[in-house]
Amino acid sequence: MTVTIEHYLVLSAILFIIGAYGVIVRKNLIIVLMSLELMLNASNLAFVAFSNVLGDLTGHIFVIMSITVAAAEVAVGLAFVVTIYAHHETLNIDVLKLLKG
């Protein structure tokens, strides 16, 4: 039994769903950011799987761009985390309601 693209796409979907679950459910801002990284990583896996099947390297370029954006996003997000913790002494996103969300 060989591994087909369905296997990779189902794994990618599972990882994406787990990441989305973490973003929705968790209250700790740092873990929400980590779950976001997990979702990006799952989409990268789907990109690379399609790239393999279609024999086209464009998917790899997309993954490189996605990793770059993820790095920038984590840097800015963690700067926000540090500032928020210095100001509010907590990272509970239920407490952080300055934007009335």
Partner 1 sequence: METIIFYVFAASSVIGALVLVSHKNPVASALSLVLTLFSTAVLFILLLAHFIALIQVLVYAGAIMVLFLFTVMFLNLRDESLRFDAGRVPVKLGILSLLLLISGYFIFIGFKKILPLNNMVISHPEPFGTVEGVGEVLFSDYLLPFELTSVLIVVAILGVVVIAKRRFD
Burial category of 99 from C-beta neighbours within 10 Å (exposed 0-12, middle 13-18, buried 19 and up): exposed
Q: Give me the residue label for tokens 């929400």.
A: 32
Residue written as tokens 């700067």? 79
- CB of residue 100 to partner 1, shortest distance in Å: 19
Q: Which is nearer to partner 1, 73 or 101 (CB)?
A: 73
Other C-beta atoms within 10 Å of 47: how many? 19
Task: Please report how close the Cβ of residue 71 comes to partner 1 at its closest, in angstroms.
Answer: 6
Between 51 and 99, name the residue whose CB sits nearer to partner 1. Answer: 51
Q: Which is nearer to partner 1, 4 or 100 (CB)?
A: 4
CB of 97 to partner 1, least distance (A): 14
Instruction: Return the DSSP state at 92.
Output: B
